[in-house]
Structure 1
Amino acid sequence: MTEENMPVKKTFLQDLNRLQFAFGLTIGIALLSLIGFFTLLFRNTGTAAPRTNTNTTAAAAPTVAPDTTPTGPVELTAITDDDHIRGDKNAPVTIVEFSDLQCPFCQSFHPTLQRLMDEYDGEIRWVYKHFPLDSIHPQARPAALAAECAAEQEKFWEFIDASFENQSLLGDTFYADTAKSLGLNTSKFNECYSSRKYEDKIDAHYDEGTVAGVTGTPSSFVNGQPVSGALPYAAVKSLIDTALADAS
């Protein structure tokens, strides 16, 4: 190789190195931008898991639980002896729950209210209202109908407890088996269930919830104060303590 050719080769190699560096830098910037984009996308869509089910189709995007911050007491329909009441009927604090027996969030919330009923014996009463999300829970309404038929024989709450404990089994066979295990008159129960006797009552509960602003389950009201979603035990306990203090 002659001395005249050496500068040409050196210049070519320098240009090639610069080109490789520029190309690598461009790729690096592009990768960082892509990573940043997906990170931002995840942060925007990776919201906290919802605590309620809403009446949407299964193909719809997940719905985030409504804001649980109380916005003021809601005037609900007056509680009567026809309502399903657990606890002392004259208790100073009333929890009205709109629920769906096939709703997984309602299932997780149920033990919370059971625990609070035990701890605040005589101080709170729990009123259960049906709010079946028919479009996503095909067994919600049949389960509610069966529960009402169990109520005819004074076994409403036992049926509700059994349904949440065995939520994956909901269906005609389960309803019949549960009626039998609870000692109900099965002929009377089956006739009641097959006739859909309490369809209008369930619709009335649903309409009542809608008027009160319920859009998903579980939705509860502590002395009229709205509580949306399956709140943890401590949060509900705090609301009850406040309601008791206000009632004293």
Structure 2
Amino acid sequence: MAVKQSATSPMDIVKNNTVLVLVIGLALGGVIGHLWTKVQMLENGAAKVAGTTDTAQAQPQQPEEPKELKIKKPDPSTDHWMGPKDARYVHVEYSDFQCPYCKAYLPTFEKFKEDYADKMAFVYRHFPLSFHPLAQPSAEASECVADLGGGDAFWKFHDIVFQTMPDVKEADLPTLAAKAGVNEASFKECFGAKKFTSKVNDQAKEGESAGVNATPTSVIYDMQTGKTAVIAGAYPYEQAKQIVDPFIQL
């Protein structure tokens, strides 16, 4: 017996194909959605790890500032010294004439000179940084000024150079030396001969061997005990005073 088959119209075929496409589409959509979710989870996890790493890299631990440096004992006969020769405490600044932070520290230095004149002497030591092209020439120039005009001339030159920076050129140094009170021709002869290159280099090496690694670094030295306190940077006066006062009252 022959089985009777129902006739299939074109419209039925279209409907059946549409349903099939929808089913396949939904299945593929589910697979794609699942995979997309997995990718997002992995990316988010990686981003969190990267973010943690970036945060750690962006916030490195700061090295602890030195509490004490064993520098060479200050000596009024060899150092650039200002103040009482028998002072128990000496403010020794390792500095660079072209360093902007050293210039920024000047108001603190001046305030210390004003407020501690009867308790403290002040010493300047050279620590010219290699990436400051005028630091070494200025340091050698200051030694020529000291040699020709003495301590007062040195400190005048010190103030003039810092006040004029950063507009000083090497060609200006003879004029600045003359303003500090020394003969310009004699200065040029001394400076041209590089008479004090070794002295400047030796001071910098002494500071480096003691642990100085930046400018300005100011060391408060107790002449009786050899102990020191350190002002590492261009601290404002009130902040620097909080380092000095407890030390000199020990």
Q: Is 1:85 the equivalent of 2:98?
A: no
Question: Secondary structure, in 3 states, of the residue corresponding to 1:169?
Answer: coil
**Residues paired across the two proteins, number:** 228
Percentage of matched positions with identical amino acids = 28
Measured against aligned partners, the alpha-carbon deviations of 1:26-81 in whole angstroms (never above 9, x if no partner) come to: 25752673476256325424558xxxxxxxxxxxxxxx7x52141x4625234123
* Structure 2 portions without partners, runs of 5+: 1-10, 222-227
CA contact (8 A) 1:148 1:198 kept: yes
Question: Which residue number in structure 2 is paired with residue 161 of structure 1?
Answer: 159
Match of 1:51 in 2: none
Question: 1:21 & 1:115 partners in 2: Cα distance?
Answer: 70
The 5-angstrom pairing of residues 118-133 of structure 1 reads 118-133=114-129
Q: Say if 1:232 and 1:39 are closer, same or farther in 2 by CA, change over 3 A.
A: farther
Q: What displacement does 1:175 show?
A: 0.9
**In the alignment, structure 1 residue 236 sits paired with structure 2 residue 240:** yes
Q: Look up the SS of the partner of 1:9 in the other structure.
A: helix
**TM-score relative to the length of structure 2:** 0.76
Moved more, 10-19 or 145-154: 10-19
How many Å separate the matches in 1 of 2:84 and 2:194? 30
Q: Which runs of 5+ in 1 are unaligned?
A: 49-63
The separation in 2 between residues aligned to 1:15 and 1:89, in whole angstroms, is: 93
Other-structure match for 1:30: 43
For the 8 Å contact 2:134–2:170, the answer to whether it is kept is no
Distance 2:71 2:174 in 1: 37
Q: CA 1:209–1:243 in 2, change beyond 3 Å: closer, same or farther? A: same
- Please tell me the residue identity of whatever aligns with 1:99: S
Q: What's the secondary structure of 1:5's corresponding residue?
A: helix
Task: List structure 1 segments (4+ residues) > 6 angstroms apart after TM superposition.
Answer: none
Q: Which structure has the highest helix share of the two?
A: 2
Corresponding residue number in structure 2 for 1:15: 27
Shift of 1:25: 6.1
Instruction: Using the TM superposition, name which of 75-84 and 189-198 deviates more.
Output: 75-84
Q: Which has the larger radius of gyration?
A: 2
RMSD: 2.9
Residues 208 and 69 from structure 1, CA distance in 2 versus in 1: closer, same or farther, beyond 3 angstroms? Answer: closer
